[in-house]
Amino acid sequence: MNLLEKEEFARIKAEELEHLSAEEVVRFAAQQYSSLTFACSFGAEDVVIVDMLQHISPSTDIFYLDTDFHFQETYDTRDRMVDRYGLDFVRVAPLITPEEQAEKHAPELWTSDPNLCCNIRKVEPLTRNLSRYDAWITGIRRDQAPTRANSKKVEYDYKFGLMKFNPLADWTSEDVWKYIRDNDVIYNPLHDRNFPSIGCEQCTRQVMPGEDPRAGRWSGNDKTECGLHK
């Protein structure tokens, strides 16, 4: 399909999929695209989709962006999921090490230029990996942030040039945790310590009562997204 055909396909399917369950959206994506992948950050939404995929399309590639700066609890969650499901998560890494980044740009680049740090350690590796696929699945939800409020269950991703499925777009946080409890899904223990949104250790803090769930990401900055979705 050319770009116009992909745009029209996404528009039509967004209307058709809007009232389907998350599992049905995942099943449609897997049936429609053999070249499909899921980007897993090991947060609550993503472990839900990992569990769904094991029941619906266990052969779908699942990758994670290893920034080298994740919390140890995040790596431990990955290892527990490997043991539970027998998965082989695809590790996608930046082109330069943290040491090379510090030498080339600045020590603690996340402090002086967090956008550049995210570009090096997340956006470029993601762009490189997604170029191998026709479609990808994400765990984003509309109520996570204003920047995600208009997310469709399927849309054409202009930034990365492929179809994008958001099966949990209309889910609430309560929906996510109900699925985790009902299905005994492994999750990151940082969620139990007031970390509703978990990124790199240097740029993520606990969220205080009354704060926005993503207030712990890039606290003290006007930055709200790492660049993967907007």
State which amino acid sits at residue 58.
P
Q: Is 226 a catalytic residue?
A: yes
State which amino acid sits at residue 200.
C
| Nearest Cα residue to 133 out of 29, 35, 3 | 35
Angle in degrees, CA 165, 25, 92, rounded to 5: 40
Q: What does the alpha-carbon distance between residue 205 and residue 208 come to, in Å, rounded to a whole number?
A: 9
Q: Please say whether the beta carbons of 66 and 40 come within 8 A.
A: no
State which amino acid sits at residue 187.
Y
Please state the three-class secondary structure of 98-115 as a single string: HHHHHHHCCCCHHHHCHH
Q: Which of 118, 200, 203, 226 is catalytic?
A: 226
Per the rule left: phi > 0, alpha: psi between -120 and 50, beta: everything else, 184 is left
Q: Catalytic residues, which ones?
A: 226
